[in-house]
Structure 1
Amino acid sequence: MSSAGPVGLLAQFPAPLKNQAPSARRGATLCRAAAARPIHVADVRSPSPPPTLALMTPQPNPQAGAAVKAADRAHVFHSWSAQELIDPLAVAGAEGSYFWDYDGRRYLDFTSGLVYTNIGYQHPKVVAAIQEQAATMTTFAPAFAVEARSEAARLIAERTPGDLDKIFFTNGGADAVEHAVRMARLHTGRPKVLAAYRSYHGGTQQAVNLTGDPRRWASDTGTAGVVHFWAPFLYRTRFHAETQEQECARALEHLETTITFEGPSTIAAIILETIPGTAGIMVPPPGYLAGVRELCDKYGIVFVLDEVMAGFGRTGTWFAADLFDVVPDLMTFAKGVNSGYVPLGGVAISPAIAETFARRPYPGGLTYSGHPLACAAAVATINVMEEEGVVTHAARLGASVVEPALRELAERHPSVGEVRGTGMFWALELVRNKETREPLVPYNAAGEANAPMLAFGAAAKANGLWPFINMNRTHVVPPCNITETEFKEGLAALDTALSVADEHTV
């Protein structure tokens, strides 16, 4: 049984057919038609190569590092952590795809921060734009028209799928999700939102309750109005599927059954990460998102796509939705919009939902919505991505170098159960046994149970690679403009670290 899908390529799937009622049979037909469609790398212009940065030479300064660490331990309360059990690295600087500590050790960053430095650290054009904006106008209230804000909204709207032409700015991804859900509920007058297990939508009250992973559990007090369902993931199928086509059809049937039994007239929105990120970079099968679009049209439900992690070049397209030729009603974004240089997020809004608030005030806002410094960084980032062909570079490097290299690692390492992804957005599923697919560590493991993943991570860092690790997976999510030479440097370190993971297989 193979779960290999059309990942790593810029696939084109059938466009959603609005106002057509899908049944289980229709869902199967849609999945079958999409699976049969030829898959090809997009015919796009060759980009100019990303600029080669003259990397700063790290200068060891252990005394300064100790002072930074002491102040952090005394006063900083870290997220998602038991405060006395963590040992944060004191970082002295960063540039391009690298960062370094105060002892002069340099690391190749295969995490892009938290998957947001899509153009790398300290891009000079973005730094200059922030400095210029600070010299002109550091801040201004969101009720006014400001050049940086207007230009950022225009550039984003030009790249969003379909007719998502209005942009509501937030300070990050979680509050973008909060406002998207609020808009959907007010637009429909309905209370419920359907969200998937194996998902992450943010750490604020509504966003974390939409989330389908263990971070929800401790704060699971706001789930009235939230219903979770299973989205497709063939490698660990919940639907006893053996092919992507079966997984797609059965997942759509399950979703429609959930809608039916929850009551369509009670459901305001369905929210999905276009490609679930933190939960495992699970590329949906051909036809699935188009099928969800049809279900939303059939039942009058708002379709929300969360592109906070997948957006702005990460998948080798401006937005992951472009891979599936699907247009949502609302789309959230953050992270890569300005490479995380200044906090910024937002919601792209369809005309129908924007019209709801044309003469009815939208009851929501943020003091720093569309902050000039953040928007100036977004304008510069988008322009850099265009000028340097970053999106196309991510697509081509992903298809021609990253995917083949990772699949070759999987063939040699018994700990790698599956490789999946596209562009600069990849995951390796680490297992104890390839035949049984038993995860290398249990779900939500901690302490001794998580020792194999800790050993893997330590080996990667010892070889100059900073890995992205979540549960039994490592994600390969470097900056979208990483060079082939840099990637191969990281690949060698990853190869060594996987040998450590191999020691825990049976």
Structure 2
Amino acid sequence: MNDQYPDTVTIDASEGTRAFSLDRAHVFHSWSAQGALAPWVPAGGLGTTIWDYEGKRYLDFSSQLVNTNIGHQHPAVVAAIKAQADVMTTIAPAHANIVRGEAASRILERAGGHFSKVFFTNGGADANENAIRMARLVTGRDKVLSTYRSYHGNTGAAVVATGDWRRVPNEYARGHVHFFGPFLYRSEFWATTPEQESERALHHLERVIQAEGPQSIAAILIETIPGTAGVLVPPPGYLAGVRALADAYGIVLIFDEVMCGFGRTGEWFSFVTPAATGGERVQPDLVTFAKGVNSGYVPAGGVIISDSIANAFDEEVFPGGLTYSGHPLAMAAIVGTLDAMADEGIVDNARMIGERHLGPGLRALAERHPLIGEVRGVGVFWALDLVADPVTREPVSPAIIGRLKKELMARGLLPFSADNRIHVVPPCVVTPDEVAAALAIYDEAFTAVEA
């Protein structure tokens, strides 16, 4: 699709100036001190490419917020949204709507197992809110356990379930307890092997459950593969062990697949990704999703609900709802996205890219650059853990990350960074040639910064 640029694209540089001026005059940005902001101004995108108002092209290896899994302006998804707009642009969630039913059926087909219903939300944060609510209602318990290295959204309970710094100024919700998940490269458990890390992390979790009182715990909420925290692929046996603990103590297990679902790991869901599960299927009770389900073309998220939890509300009222739950334009975008991903083998492409191109290429990059302490990932979901000292594993400073981002942008690559990491997260439609071009840019940028 990128071959269509620039012949079919007209760019007016003055519109870029106007866009920047309007933004700085009127838009309040998230997670930012407002005064010093100078946001980049994109003009358009197609596939894995995005361009600015000066006509400069960039490989989008951020997927924006790791959500444009199908790439920019996929024609099938755009057409699905346009077609739905001609039929019905909005409808209340209490009514039955055919495109909503079609979206739910496609999601459940891919989830498989014991799931029977989908509750649609506006995004990932309120998906986690409602999963937490369901767990509390069906168990009659209050506490929610989640990891310190996590991000679950910026609403009341979701941000307190989050483990990173964003939780601290927002701790207004009750009943949240945090624990350490596995992360061998920076182990909290003095582990030296993946097996040790898994065993000791599970022991730690069980001791937290016991100390908090199992009868008080409604849910364990974890990202199947923590994303913003560093693409932390769990060691063998860990997810199965969490499932066993949840069963032993009567706790609802929620997998947050908002970032890692719908092709990102080379599978439809991360809980069936062999790198994360060790090859065995681990069934959660609830799965939350958003982002990749329709590549963010129209805001949407939801909770995939197991039979047992769905059945609990056959006679009891579920006390929750959203005006835009299952919005027709968002549902059309889901149907368009999932059908195109299936028809075009996009999930298979993500798996192939990870195995044959990104994984080997990033590991080779690490051999050449001492700044890269560890390469982690699967599919099109990777992180480079950057260190000032490869022996002590001291993280690099924010200044180094800032310089790297500047060098990458200058060479035509749009990066994603978090803390001391560069995340390598292109759309699932990325090609081997585009990966090769990106790897060359990363190589040049690291060389420039190390010099």
TM-score after normalising by structure 1: 0.86
The answer to whether 1:391 aligns with 2:347 is yes
The answer to whether 1:425 aligns with 2:350 is no
- Residue segments in structure 1 that go unaligned for 5+ positions in a row: 1-50, 442-449
Which has the larger displacement, 126-135 or 53-62? Answer: 53-62
1:62 positional shift: 2.3
Alignment of 1:204-353 (within 5 A): 204-222=155-173, 224-323=174-273, 324=277, 325-353=281-309
1:55 positional shift: 2.8
For the 8 Å contact 1:273–1:306, the answer to whether it is kept is yes
Following superposition, which runs of at least 4 residues in structure 1 exceed 6 angstroms of deviation? none
The answer to whether 1:163 aligns with 2:114 is yes
**1:499 alignment counterpart:** 447
CA distance in 1, matches of 2:137, 2:161: 18
**2:102 alignment counterpart:** 151
**1:180 alignment counterpart:** 131
CA distance in 1, matches of 2:386, 2:344: 35
Relative CO higher for 1 or 2, CA cutoff 8 Å, sep ≥ 6?
A: 1
CA distance in 1, matches of 2:189, 2:14: 56
For the 8 Å contact 1:55–1:96, the answer to whether it is kept is no
**1:85 alignment counterpart:** 36
1:60 positional shift: 4.5
**1:134 alignment counterpart:** 85
SS at match of 1:84: coil
1:337 positional shift: 0.3
The answer to whether 1:481 aligns with 2:432 is no
1:486 positional shift: 1.1
CA distance in 2, matches of 1:342, 1:60: 24
Q: Deviations over 1:116-167 (max 9, x none)?
A: 1111000011101100000011110001111110000000000114211210
CA distance in 2, matches of 1:102, 1:312: 31
CA distance in 2, matches of 1:53, 1:347: 38
CA distance in 2, matches of 1:488, 1:243: 32
**2:336 alignment counterpart:** 380
1:262 positional shift: 0.2
CA distance in 2, matches of 1:161, 1:274: 16
**2:74 alignment counterpart:** 123
For the 8 Å contact 1:142–1:368, the answer to whether it is kept is yes
SS at match of 1:85: coil
For the 8 Å contact 1:425–1:477, the answer to whether it is kept is yes
SS at match of 1:461: helix
For the 8 Å contact 1:208–1:216, the answer to whether it is kept is yes
Q: Aligned to 1:464, which of 393, 408, 412?
A: 412
CA distance in 1, matches of 2:198, 2:334: 36
For the 8 Å contact 2:355–2:378, the answer to whether it is kept is yes
Q: Aligned to 2:18, which of 36, 44, 67?
A: 67
TM-score after normalising by structure 2: 0.97
Structure 1 letter corresponding to 2:14: Q
The alignment-based identity, stated in percent, is 57
CA distance in 2, matches of 1:291, 1:174: 26
CA distance in 2, matches of 1:84, 1:53: 39
**1:6 alignment counterpart:** none
SS at match of 2:377: strand
**1:437 alignment counterpart:** 393
SS at match of 2:219: strand
Structure 2 letter corresponding to 1:418: E
Q: Deviations over 1:214-259 (max 9, x none)?
A: 111111222x300000000000000000000000000000000000
CA distance in 1, matches of 2:447, 2:314: 59
CA distance in 2, matches of 1:220, 1:502: 39
CA distance in 1, matches of 2:161, 2:314: 28
1:61 positional shift: 2.5
Q: Deviations over 1:265-285 (max 9, x none)?
A: 000000000000000000000
CA distance in 1, matches of 2:354, 2:409: 23
Structure 1 letter corresponding to 2:388: R
The answer to whether 1:109 aligns with 2:76 is no
The answer to whether 1:405 aligns with 2:361 is yes
Structure 2 letter corresponding to 1:136: V
- Residue segments in structure 2 that go unaligned for 5+ positions in a row: none
For the 8 Å contact 1:161–1:322, the answer to whether it is kept is no
1:369 positional shift: 0.2
CA distance in 2, matches of 1:68, 1:130: 25
CA distance in 1, matches of 2:57, 2:10: 10
CA distance in 1, matches of 2:371, 2:136: 44
Alignment of 1:185-204 (within 5 A): 185-204=136-155
CA distance in 2, matches of 1:460, 1:302: 43
Q: Deviations over 1:31-63 (max 9, x none)?
A: xxxxxxxxxxxxxxxxxxxx6652335644221
Structure 1 letter corresponding to 2:44: G
SS at match of 1:165: strand
Structure 2 letter corresponding to 1:61: D
SS at match of 2:54: coil
Q: Deviations over 1:319-364 (max 9, x none)?
A: 0000221110000000010011000000000111111111111000
For the 8 Å contact 1:232–1:284, the answer to whether it is kept is yes
For the 8 Å contact 1:196–1:272, the answer to whether it is kept is yes
